[in-house]
Amino acid sequence: MPGGRSGRRRARGRGLDAALARARRARHARPRVHRRRRPQAGPPRRPHLRPLPRPRGPRDHGRRRGDPGRRALALRPAARRGALRSGYGGGAARRGRDACRAGRDRRDPVRRQHRARAPRGLDRRLTLSNGAPGSAGRLVLFDIDGTLVHAAGVGRAAIEGAMIEVYGTPGPIDDLPFDGMTDPQIVRTLLRAEGLSEAEIAPGFDRLWPAYAARLQGEIDERRERMRPTPGVPEILDALEAEGATLGLLTGNIVAGAEGKLSAVRLWSRFPFGAFGCDDADRNRLPPIALERAFRHTGTRYGPGRTWIIGDTPHDIECARGSGLSVLGVATGRFSVDDLLRAGADEALPSLRDTGRVMSALASA
């Protein structure tokens, strides 16, 4: 073999010398200047929307279509939250901006159960519906017990059982009519009548409502056959929705009570928002809460001229009058048409059975 072992040794030595020479030249060479690239013509770049480079490795074959994948991780925190919720799969800057807006819109202090915002695409110029021609329809807020549903006494039985469980007494419950009162107001009235002070009531108040909700469901299961909507309710709800009216609740029930009673007669899904007894124990303070939630749901500020409250007690009428709203009384509870008119109702009807008459009354304001 030509060269032999000594030839290979000499070649190895030459290679080492060349490497050392290159290292010396590199140490004494002038440093390389990295020049910043001039900005290119066109729209400004958005670094918060630039996708991160995909790391090397096997492709993610199991990912579903529309999965945000790695591109959503390159967004700012608010945009990332929106992207992960909206299925932003990467590509369009517009989707990233929409996701960022969605992330900001979700910061909402309103009560969790009825948090809502204006639908996508809604014009930012908000509408005021106050009876002018071409306005966005009317807002109709319904009471529950005696107005929408005959509940067969499930609420009274559940409150009695929960009060015995938490406080050891239901108070003089047989002597107190519940009509038009909020649930917290009922409980405090009964306990004060029993001689308990506020210092004795307060510690058990938060424990009372989970006990009430559990007992209410049990009472509904036992009496479901006897619970029913009041006459004409499904028809009037259909007619109002067909006309473009916005439906909501204004009730003294806490949310769990309202949902349980209306779900039992398949009406809960008809009302996307409401004001409840757990929002404020004073019923007269509930209308502004309902109007604010109507605005968050529809984007429309409803004025007094296009907002109606429908209820069956003088408390409903007093509540509406305190906020300057129109009120339709229905004699489906303990009070007659004359009682409701004397209490100050704009209109009063025997029931909601006559759909045409109800719609005419609501159009009279």
For residues 344-349, average pLDDT: 95
pLDDT in the model for residue 305: 84
Of 39-48, 151-160, 179-188, 258-267, the least confident: 39-48
Query: Rounded to the nearest 10 degrees, how much is the dihedral formed by the CA atoms of 190, 196, 198, 202?
Result: -80
Residue 37 lies in a domain: no
pLDDT of residue 317 exceeding 90, the answer is: yes
pTM for this predicted structure: 0.65
Tell me which of 206, 226, 246 is where a domain ends: 226
143 and 270 assigned to the same domain: yes
Residue 26 lies in a domain: no
pLDDT in the model for residue 353: 95
Residue 269 lies in a domain: yes
pLDDT of residue 234 exceeding 50, the answer is: yes
pLDDT in the model for residue 28: 62
Residue 319 lies in a domain: yes
pLDDT in the model for residue 1: 47
244 and 345 assigned to the same domain: yes
212 and 336 assigned to the same domain: no
For residues 171-181, average pLDDT: 93
Q: Identify the residue with better confidence: 179 or 51.
A: 179
Categorize the per-residue pLDDT at 133 as very low, low, confident or very high, splitting at 50, 70 and 90: very low
For residues 22-38, average pLDDT: 63
308 and 287 assigned to the same domain: yes
338 and 272 assigned to the same domain: yes
Q: What pLDDT, in 10s, does the model give residues 73-88?
A: 444 454 444 444 444 3
What distances in angstroms separate CA 159 from CA 43, 153, 167, one per listed residue? 64, 10, 11
pLDDT in the model for residue 65: 47
Beta-carbon neighbour count of residue 126 at 10 Å? 12
The CATH number assigned to the domain holding 334 equals 3.40.50.1000
Residue 13 lies in a domain: no
Tally of domains in the chain? 3
pLDDT of residue 29 exceeding 50, the answer is: yes
290 and 274 assigned to the same domain: yes
pLDDT in the model for residue 85: 45
Residues 6+ apart with CB under 8 A from 100: 75, 76, 78, 79, 82
169 and 134 assigned to the same domain: no
pLDDT in the model for residue 272: 96
Mean per-residue pLDDT of the chain:
78
| b (16+ CB within 10 A) / e for 272-310 | ebbbbbbbbbebeebbebbbebbbbbbbbebbbebbbbb
84 burial (CB, 10 Å; 0-12 / 13-18 / 19+) is middle
182 and 276 assigned to the same domain: no
In angstroms, rounded to a whole number, what is the distance separating the alpha carbons of residues 89 and 65?
Answer: 8
Categorize the per-residue pLDDT at 365 as very low, low, confident or very high, splitting at 50, 70 and 90: low
Q: Is the dihedral of CA 93, 95, 99, 105 positive or negative?
A: positive
279 and 145 assigned to the same domain: yes
pLDDT in the model for residue 21: 75
Categorize the per-residue pLDDT at 11 as very low, low, confident or very high, splitting at 50, 70 and 90: low
Q: Identify the residue with better confidence: 200 or 130.
A: 200
191 and 135 assigned to the same domain: no
Residue 121 lies in a domain: no
Range of the domain at 204: 152-226
Residue 97 lies in a domain: yes
For residues 338-363, average pLDDT: 94
The CATH number assigned to the domain holding 166 equals 1.10.150.240
215 and 240 assigned to the same domain: no
Structural contact between residues 63 and 16, judged by C-beta atoms closer than 8 angstroms: no
Tell me which of 176, 199, 226 is where a domain ends: 226
Tell me which of 181, 196, 226 is where a domain ends: 226
> Which residue from 335, 153, 130, 138 is spatially nearest to 236, judged by alpha carbons?
138
In SS3 terms, 175-222 reads as: HCCCCCCCHHHHHHHHHHHCCCCHHHHHHHHHHHHHHHHHHHHHHHHH
pLDDT of residue 106 exceeding 50, the answer is: no
pLDDT of residue 295 exceeding 50, the answer is: yes
Of 32-41, 47-56, 169-178, 322-331, the least confident: 47-56
pLDDT of residue 56 exceeding 80, the answer is: no
Residue 114 lies in a domain: no
pLDDT in the model for residue 48: 46
Q: Identify the residue with better confidence: 194 or 78.
A: 194
**H helices within the chain, ranges in order?**
4-28, 77-86, 93-105, 154-167, 183-193, 198-223, 233-243, 255-264, 286-298, 314-322, 337-342, 355-362
264 and 337 assigned to the same domain: yes
pLDDT of residue 173 exceeding 90, the answer is: yes
pLDDT of residue 140 exceeding 60, the answer is: yes
pLDDT of residue 184 exceeding 90, the answer is: yes
